[in-house]
Structure 1
Amino acid sequence: MITIRSNSNSNSNNNSNSKAETFTEAHAAAAADDEAAFRFFQYTQSRVPPPLRPPPPYDAHGDSFAAKRMRKLTQRRAVDYTSTVVRYMQIRMWQRDSRDRTALQPTPAAAIDMLPTVAYSDNPSTSFAAKFVHTSLNKNRCSINRVLWTPTGRRLITGSQSGEFTLWNGQSFNFEMILQAHDQAIRSMVWSHNDNWMVSGDDGGAIKYWQNNMNNVKANKSAHKESVRDLSFCRTDLKFCSCSDDTTVKVWDFARCQEERGKDNLVKLWDAKSGRELCSLSPWPQKHSFFVKWNENGNWVLTASKDQIIKAMKELESFRGIGKM
């Protein structure tokens, strides 16, 4: 009996020891699993990107891209004159002149029959600009001293107080190019009759030549002592004249960009073939000449100044002793 009891006690002790060891091993395994899970959590947390920042305000970008992107769409006004030109090209095949032209009815439906102003040469009132279309602002806000259309009529050139040329689109009213043309304020611009050259003058008395692509070809910075008020081309485009605040009207050879005639305020007649002076007319004591214009025959010049006098030169008589022409 005693021996059996002693065996049962030893067996129970062994069972309790084995259960304790099993519990310890399970607890250690669970702890190892927890530690591995914690390490994996730390690893994944280190790989997660930081949270996204809120979007910046619209004015935070230097180029205002966000503001342009969020701007409301607005309808841009445009003037489309091609429809009238196409209609004019269609009907002029069978219309001789204004006698064959149909009358334009004052209804909106008759707008498709409207023609350009060149088709209404017998009615100049059609060229009146009676409707306001658009206002355009330059980047550099300063006074505009001269406005001139290109020969094609598709673009507009403005000369500003800062000496800049701004090229505007005549249909959509947006600027296409800004060019620093002069060092001082631009006062005069004129196109040649062959539409290939433009001459401009500024406050410093400089005169510059420009091509159709706004390329500066030649510059005469000492043309006048004061501002060049107006320019005008001769009908043949071989010469042009300029008037300035220095009380002088100068005639220039376009090819050489050199001044012709004298500086003694005299009007002189010259022989074109021999290059000799024929005679000198009365003095020309005008002050602050503002406008000068050539006649279509290329021989007469009309000037106007601040002395409230408009003077014109024309042939009054023939002079002898010139020699053979």
Structure 2
Amino acid sequence: MSAPLVLPSHFQQTDAWRPTRYLSPPQPPPVDPTFAREQEIAQQRLNAEGRAVRKVKPRRTVDFNGELSKMLLLKKVRPSTGYLPYLRPAPPYIIDLLPPKAYVDNPTTSVCTKFVHTSTNKVRCPVNVVAWTPEGRRLLTGSQSGEFTLWNGLTFNFETILQAHDTAVRAFAWSHSGGYLISSDTNGNIKYFQSNMNNLAVWQGHREAVRGVSFSPDDSRFATGADDSVIKLWSFEEMREERVLTGHGWDVKCVDWHPTKGLIVSGSKDNSVKFWDPRTATCLSTLHQHKNTVQSCLWNPSGDFVATASRDQTIRVFDIRVMKEIQIFKGHKKEVCSLAWHPIHHELLASGGSEGAIYHWLVESPNPIAQLDEAHDSNVWTLAWHPLGHILCSGSNDHTTRFWCRDRPGEETTVMGEKPPVAGQESTEEQDDFVPGFNYQAQGGIGAQNGGFDQDGPGGAYGSAGQVSWTNGAPNGVDDFIPGLGGRTEAALEAAKSERAPLPSQEDMQINPHFAPRDGGYGPRGGGGPGYGRDGGYGGRDGHRDGGYRGRDGGYGGQDGGYREGRGRGRGRGRGRWNN
């Protein structure tokens, strides 16, 4: 037997096999950048604690600078004095849209029925009065809480807020010069403010709420009307009472000084409209056409007409040159709360009613030329036109301030106007209380949206919205999901029926009559072991002890049962029973 062949060491080292590829240990495949980004966004949404991930999108704006520039240019290059560019019904021709001042002979071009924006304070309360600043750059609102809020006039976003009064703001008015603001409140206090909102003076002018404030044409005096049934004339510089106008038999709800003459009009709860001479403090005439409280009275900018709105659901227009009623507007389904004359077209009038509607009227026609039947959810307390006349602002008892603009070329127009978004269904840009990633608002009992009896936001007195996880368009663990509302198909419903947990045995039910399995709930912590309430409501974590009692009123209980009406965070649900 021959010996094995032994090669020299240098041959062994040369011929030894060494790997040349895949030298590093195996690695997982690289992560797709798109998938990684989606995972990151999902994690951010999970960590958002029920708050919306705000979308980055441009804010809707109504910029009048381009219109003014176009009009100034046309004044220099137009072939004739009456020339106006023809507005073709196409979006590219929006550059030919001019301010309302250019269409003096056509007031219908200034009807504002297109919804633009809804502005709401964080502390929600009714908006009693709104007014544009004299230059039109901002909107000032006065609320039931006594706060002044300034909103941007182009983008309509919040700018600043200040506590101007201790009680509800009832009225305010800018001087004709634009340098000063006078405001009044429920306690009868009157305050002076500069244009930068610096408070100059305050005193009590009436014993009760001051409902109206109006400047004289030269700003040297102003008139106030209050619930103590009197109208007072004041010296603006001296803050001194000069005249007291008595004659109304009940609360004075509105007062307005003629824009150019020494004449004052007032409306009262005694259903009458009175005209006053401020020099002699005497009543010149009394009108008794209305059958209920006169809520608002307002001179048009030319001073020829005065409009009055009443709780008898009518608006009446009087021509003081002949001292005669020339028009009566009927259309509101409830009492009329507010009026606003257009600053350019003196025959165009806007009105707001208690049903939340806004109507546009022309003096020569008894029928509205446009109407917004669902402009607000409650009383429209106040209306204000922009000084240029291209935007209408409305303040309401539903805690919102809304902006309306003219229709633009190429946009679909309708006499009914554009319906604003329903409360609670606005774009996610302004939602802070929905479950992120699922476009669904969690309803953690009554406390999810209306957390307390007197609070309207989440996180109220009885808890906030609970988080709900969704699978295939329905909440986890829900077998009785309503078809058509969450995208769940009939096949998915049949599959869910087959996956239901078996009923407890008779032995288990005899041993524990309040049987409630722990895996039947869903909520922030996987639910608990609640039982059904007496009227079908869901109980809390303790099931047999608290489930029926706290679910008795039909509300959902939370992790700890919540309050007696079921107000609490999240929902707990199980298949337990309650034996009476």
Q: Higher helix fraction: Structure 1 or Structure 2? A: 1
Sequence identity of aligned pairs in percent?
43
* Structure-2 residue corresponding to 1:209: 192
Structure 2: any 5+ residue segments left out of the alignment?
1-42, 279-580
| Matches of 1:156 and 1:110, distance apart in 2 | 29
Note if 1:288 corresponds to 2:288. Answer: no
After TM superposition, the structure 1 = structure 2 runs for residues 26-105 of structure 1, keeping only pairs within 5 Å, are 58=47, 71-95=54-78, 99-105=82-88
Give the partner amino acid of 2:218.
T
Give the partner amino acid of 2:214.
S
Give the partner amino acid of 1:79.
V
Residues 213-255 of structure 1: CA deviation (Å, up to 9, x unaligned) = 11111111x2111111011100010000000011010000000
Q: 1:159 to 1:98 in 2, by over 3 A?
A: farther
CA shift, 1:96, in A, is 9.0
* Structure-1 residue corresponding to 2:240: 258
Structure 2 SS opposite 1:217: strand
Structure 1: any 5+ residue segments left out of the alignment?
1-53, 266-283, 316-325
Structure 1 SS opposite 2:118: coil
CA shift, 1:201, in A, is 0.4
* Structure-2 residue corresponding to 1:173: 156
Structure 1 SS opposite 2:191: strand
After TM superposition, the structure 1 = structure 2 runs for residues 132-211 of structure 1, keeping only pairs within 5 Å, are 132-211=115-194
Residues 258-300 of structure 1: CA deviation (Å, up to 9, x unaligned) = 111247x3xxxxxxxxxxxxxxxxxx13311111111234311
* Structure-1 residue corresponding to 2:273: 310
Structure having greater relative contact order (Cα 8 Å, sep ≥ 6) = 2
Structure 2 SS opposite 1:147: strand
* Structure-2 residue corresponding to 1:273: none
Residues 12-45 of structure 1: CA deviation (Å, up to 9, x unaligned) = xxxxxxxxxxxxxxxxxxxxxxxxxxxxxxxxxx
Give the partner amino acid of 1:213.
N
CA shift, 1:304, in A, is 1.1
Tell me the TM-score normalised to structure 2 length.
Answer: 0.38
| Matches of 1:121 and 1:87, distance apart in 2 | 16
Residues 186-222 of structure 1: CA deviation (Å, up to 9, x unaligned) = 00010111111110000010010111111111111x2
| Matches of 2:270 and 2:86, distance apart in 1 | 49
CA shift, 1:82, in A, is 1.4
Tell me the TM-score normalised to structure 1 length.
Answer: 0.67
| Matches of 1:162 and 1:97, distance apart in 2 | 54
* Structure-1 residue corresponding to 2:492: none
| Matches of 1:174 and 1:262, distance apart in 2 | 41
Structure 1 SS opposite 2:115: coil
After TM superposition, the structure 1 = structure 2 runs for residues 2-17 of structure 1, keeping only pairs within 5 Å, are none
* Structure-2 residue corresponding to 1:229: 211
When Rg is computed on C-alpha atoms for both structures, the one with the higher figure is 1
Aligned length: 236
Say whether the 8 Å CA contact 1:98–1:122 is kept in structure 2.
no
Structure 2 SS opposite 1:261: strand
Q: 1:133 to 1:183 in 2, by over 3 A?
A: same
| Matches of 1:96 and 1:255, distance apart in 2 | 50
Note if 1:245 corresponds to 2:208. Answer: no
Farther-moved stretch of structure 1 (304-313 vs 211-220): 304-313
| Matches of 2:200 and 2:79, distance apart in 1 | 44
Say whether the 8 Å CA contact 1:236–1:298 is kept in structure 2.
no
Structure 2 SS opposite 1:195: coil
